[in-house]
Structure 1
Amino acid sequence: MVETLSLWHQQVVGDGDLLAPRPALEGDAEADVCIVGAGYTGLWTAYALLRGDPALRVLVVEREIAGFGASGRNGGWCSALFPAGRAALARRHGPAAADAMRSAMRAAVDEVGTAVEEEGIACDWVKGGTVVLARTPAQLARARAEASDGPDRVEMLGPREASALVGAAGVLGATYTPDCARVQPARLARGLARAVERRGGRIAEGTTALAIRPREVVTDRGVVRARAVVRATEAWSAALAPRSVVPVYSLIVATRPLPESFWSSAGLAGGQTFSDHRHLVVYGQRTADDRLVFGGRGAPYHFRSRIHPSFDRDERVFGGLRAALTELFPALRPDDFTHAWGGPLGIPRDWHAGVGFGPDGLGWGGGYVGDGVATSNLAGRTLAALILGRDDPIAALPWVGHRSRRWEPEPLRWLLVNAGLRLMTLADGEERLTGRRSVVAASLARFLGG
């Protein structure tokens, strides 16, 4: 059942949205714009196009249902994070372009909030910022270095200030940025799909794209011809554009609604999202109904970029996430955990998201490395500006037209990706043992172009 994909989907069903598929495509069709994928990128693109030109015939084709993939299963961070850091952007595109990209990402967070309000999407939106804890000397050094990067509005917090926001164990300090909102992601995706339809767009679900070509999408239900075609398939791009991204799984656990006695010390009262400065990415939030939702990387990459529902669950990784969250909040007990799920996200070879629209009428957007909630909004607005030929500054941002180098062929790809995941875990262990910043992590960052 689709509602078992995540806690978020279960809550959507509880709202009365039974996740029944919309009608599939019925034979060949024509459109002004055909978008493949009804996740955030595809939906934001359709939404921006219809706002820009309500007369457009916009058709979104989706194999499953709107919000089926990462858009409905993620950790609920609508953040200004971009997978390529400012230093990497400055090296590739220059400091001014890097700053413009960072500024656009901060604005994208508020753009999502504005759309949520205007469209009446009830998705538990609260802009409380992000607290990233430092719990070892090496993490504290990394936090201080990050806080010195002025343009990104990262503030250094002492242990008391940090603990007042996130009452975790062993806090030495933290960084804080205001540029993040907590959100219930499936409610956002489903609400956005309804907003697209209210504005005249059509979403054909249960329709599998077999080939994406300039001005043509071949599906199992018919061929769609359009003057503009957009590939918005993120992790599933691996099947349509081989080696453009690799699908890597991120897994999440969640607790029952926790009592006020827990929250009186745990904090997170202002809708803050939270993480810490370890190398293997983790992310958490306090939900609107007082649960802890906590996720992270660590699940293996599967040979030949395979995606399968069985990969959504890995009991070893779930156990590690529960242990990590209990280490942060020792008051948690095993029977507090009620949900666990996962899904794939798309990682480009150079850790650099891209968006573009070519003279052949083919557009694309993705490669978010798990930071796609706000980035997809920027992608959608950018694609709309490019397709409509509008003079918009976002169409000149440095990620426009960026194409990442292809991943290595198998089996080298499998070896590299899984070695990278393993090295991040080793780097965290190295720092716990030595108290110094990891040499392993620095070497891997250089290899990835960070």
Structure 2
Amino acid sequence: MDPHLTRDYRGLSFWHDTVPGGLDRRPPLDGDIHTDVAIIGGGLTGLWTAHYLLARDESLTITVIEKEIAGFGASGRNGGWCSALFPRSTASLERAHGRAAAIAMRQAMIDTVDEVGRVTAAEGIDCHFVRGGTLAFARSAAQLRSARAEVEEAARYGVDALELRGAGVGDPGSEDSRLGAAGALGAVFDPACARVHPARLVRGLAASLERRGVRIVEGTEVEAYSQGVVRTSRGAVFAPAIVQATEGYGATIGQSHRDILPLYSLMIATEPLPDEFWHRAGIAHGQTFTDFRHLLVYGQRTADNRFAFGGRGARYHWGSVVSAEYDRSPKVFEHLRRTLVDLFPGAADAAITHRWGGPLGVPRDWHASVRFDPATGLGSAGGYVGDGLSTTNLAGRTLADLITGTDSSLVRLPWVGHQSPRWEPEPIRFAAANAGLLAMGIADVEERVTGRPSLAARVMGPLVGH
């Protein structure tokens, strides 16, 4: 019996466990077919691309090819931040592409948050979308300096509307100055973020596409692709336009094995907590949160009043291997629980109901990209470094314009056509990736001990998109 038929997809994450409706796998490809556009990967990049292609030309035939089920990967397991974050900073984009291009990229990302809300409302996708913004807490003098520097940098470009709260800002006790995270000296509020339930989003989008005639084949593994054809375990898909949209799982396909590095991010979810707790914590419905540490953490208040909280720290695995066993790390889960309680001591007795993880995609220069070559009909998008929930929507709109030859401002954004260097072969790749994770942890310890901005973080900055 095919093991996929009996797989417990609800056990993938809290999000999969609480998505309405079934998670039964759709039928696989049943032999060779011809289609106008073949999309490899049933995550948000591929599904958004199909959505906007139909908006450009409703006569197109589109086939989405997925190894597991739609939303199996990072699209269904992430932190639920529909944000304007891009893996490269605005200053970094300016150095690489110029000021005007950097500002255009930032504006496009900000606009994308509202675009996701617009489409989900129009399509009737109940993904708990609430645009509540993000709070980034500063919990030390060094972090507070970083917070002020971030607000000042944003002001120089005049696009992001960041606001420094606390740290003497506003009236004592006011809503703007009430910071619930333990030891918070201040916080940066970014309004350009919405809280969503990611599995509801990706599953709802897949269902809406099927109603419009898109064919989604699941349980179908892509073995190779080239101009005009995708070779799978179930037959060939012939198409003049082919889009690779596999993100971290691109490391499992020969052509893109060294284009993307699969780095694991893990999460936990608590039991629901009472409204009084959330009032003390200062986290409103629709808000997400983080702090200014270097080894990233991220969280949200879910629609049913849980913490969904995650972070980096899981090591990179030799050979860019992607395996279900790497989705679970007791050591990292315990680190996340301790970190959450350190941030919000009132959650110390909250039961942890779900633990999960999965790989995200990291390009060598941390620069997400969208590409389509009309001469070969081959396109791709990805390299989001965990900032993909909204960036996938911008990628889908951009790919739709590129594939249909639509002239728009999107096709002139600086990430279009960008080619990241390939990752080094092993053992260099293994050593570099895990050294980077270690350096970020060291940077946090360094700042706690010295009270000054980390020298280790300054050295690593250019390597991680800053």
Fold similarity call, TM over 0.5? yes
Q: Which runs of 4+ in 1 moved over 4 A?
A: 159-166
1:93 counterpart residue number:
97
Q: CA deviation digits over 1:107-160, x for unaligned, max 9?
A: 111111001100000110000011100000010000000001223221111245
User: Counterpart in 1 of 2:25?
Assistant: 21
Residue 136 of structure 2 is matched in structure 1 by 132
Deviation at 1:163, TM superposition (A): 7.2
Answer whether contact 2:165 2:186 (CA < 8 A) is retained: yes
Among 154, 161, 173, which residue is 2:162 paired with? 154
2:417 corresponds to: 401
Match of 2:249 in 1: 236
Counterparts of 1:94 and 1:168, CA distance in 2:
37
Aligned to 2:282: 267
Note if contact 2:146-2:292 (Cα within 8 Å) is conserved in structure 1: yes
Residue 107 (1) aligns with residue 111 (2): yes
Give the aligned length. Answer: 447
Distance 1:366 1:141 in 2: 32
Distance in 1 between the 2:341 and 2:198 partners? Answer: 24
Corresponding residue SS for 2:355? strand
Structure 2: give runs of 5+ residues left out of the alignment: 1-7
Given that 1:133 and 1:162 are in contact with CA atoms closer than 8 Å, whether structure 2 keeps it comes out as: no
Q: % of aligned pairs identical?
A: 55
Greater CA drift, 396-405 or 161-170: 161-170
Pairing partner for 1:422 from 438, 441, 445:
438
Please tell me whether the aligned partners of residues 423 and 440 of structure 1 are also in contact (alpha carbons under 8 angstroms).
Answer: yes
Distance 2:149 2:463 in 1: 21
Q: Report deviation, 1:62.
A: 0.2
The equivalent position to 1:367 in structure 2, one of 376, 380, 383, is: 383
Structure 2 residue matching 1:200: 3-state secondary structure? coil
Structure-2-length-normalised TM-score: 0.94
The AA in structure 2 aligned to 1:9 is: H
Secondary structure of the residue aligned to 2:257 is: coil
* Aligned counterparts of 2:175 and 2:42: Cα–Cα separation in 1: 38
Distance 2:382 2:323 in 1: 20
- Displacement of 1:336 in angstroms is 2.1
| 8 Å Cα contact 1:162-1:173 kept in structure 2 | no
Q: CA deviation at 1:334?
A: 4.4
Q: Deviations over 1:70-101 (max 9, x none)?
A: 00000000000000110110011000000000
Instruction: For residues 38-57 of structure 1, give each alpha carbon's deviation from its aligned partner in whole angstroms, at most 9, with x where no partner exists.
Output: 00000000011011111100
**In structure 2, how many angstroms separate the alpha carbons of the residues matched to 1:195 and 1:392?**
25
**Alignment partner of 1:35: what SS?**
strand
What SS does structure 1 have at the residue aligned with 2:356? strand
Corresponding residue for residue 9 of structure 2: 2
Deviates more, 1:332-341 or 1:289-298: 332-341
The one-letter amino acid of 1:97's match is A
- Distance in 2, Cα, partners of 1:56 & 1:122: 27
- Which position in structure 2 is the counterpart of 1:389? 405
Pick from 158, 165, 169 the counterpart of residue 182 of structure 2. 169
Unaligned runs of 5+ in 1: none
Gap change, CA 1:64 and 1:163, over 3 Å in 2? same
TM-score by length of 1: 0.97
